[in-house]
Amino acid sequence: MARKSPPAPVAEGEVTPLPESFFTFEIAQIKDIAELKVILHFSHLLSRKQGHPGVVTRGELLAHCAPVMGEKEFHRGLKLAVERGVILSSRGDGGEGEEVYFSRKISEPTPRQSNIFALYEENIGLITPLIAEELKEAEKRYPGKWIEEAFREAVVLNKRSWRYIARILENWASGGKDSGAHRPGAKKSGPDKYIRGRYGHLVKR
């Protein structure tokens, strides 16, 4: 069997960006070093892809990982990352094509696990320690589906503020999520519907 060549060296000074949520949330969930290695290799490859959304093929990921960690460890780590929804997978050509991998986005939230940190970073910005605590509390208090829908509604209305999103969740919890009073287009509603009332001063316009 021909010996596989190691990955091409990275240029000096070149960096691979990782989202803040990786350090504030994801890394605490990783129990197997193989999963961590695969996630880091995947992030490295994805950061060098052109276009949106970027995808990495199974062949590319295997070629990058196997010389460093071995195929057995690679397959174990990839399986864990996909099962937890950190890396999403898909097949083209009606399920017969090569498997490809991509990162989670708000338009395609994983049903396995709501990641409020990733949603925040992708749609609002960097997470401060104070915001991180509020996000953790919100994730404990509200269903994951509510959180995803609240972020989506705020994005649609161009109200990219955690205070605005928190107010949506508070209204759904107190008045019923599916009541007409809490949906766009309802009477006396609109983009400013969450800046009225007792907590309105907390919402940034």
What local confidence, expressed as pLDDT, does residue 13 receive? 59
What local confidence, expressed as pLDDT, does residue 99 receive? 85
What local confidence, expressed as pLDDT, does residue 9 receive? 52
CA distance linking residue 204 with residue 1, whole number of Å: 62
pLDDT tens digits, one per residue of 92-125: 554 567 788 887 643 344 443 447 888 888 888 8
Residue at 27: amino acid letter: I
C-alpha dist (Å) from residue 60 to 31, 65, 85: 25, 9, 20
Phi-psi category of residue 186: left, alpha or beta, with phi > 0 → left and psi -120 to 50 → alpha: beta
What local confidence, expressed as pLDDT, does residue 96 receive? 65
Return the SS3 of 19. Answer: coil
Question: Is domain 20-103 given the CATH code 1.10.10 in the classification?
Answer: yes
Q: What is the overall mean pLDDT for the chain?
A: 75
CA distance linking residue 122 with residue 58, whole number of Å: 25
What local confidence, expressed as pLDDT, does residue 101 receive? 86
What does the domain layout of the chain look like in residue ranges? 20-103, 126-202
What local confidence, expressed as pLDDT, does residue 171 receive? 92
Given a cut of 70, the residues of the chain with pLDDT beneath it are 1-14, 19-21, 24-25, 50-53, 92-96, 104-114, 178-205
Q: How far is CA 125 from the centre of its chain?
A: 13
Is the pTM of the predicted complex or chain greater than 0.85?
Answer: no
In our burial notation (b when 16+ CB lie closer than 10 A, e otherwise), range 142-169 reads: bebebbbbbbbbbbebebebbbbbbbbb
Q: Which residue has tokens 């009606």?
A: 94
Q: Which residue has tokens 């997470």?
A: 127
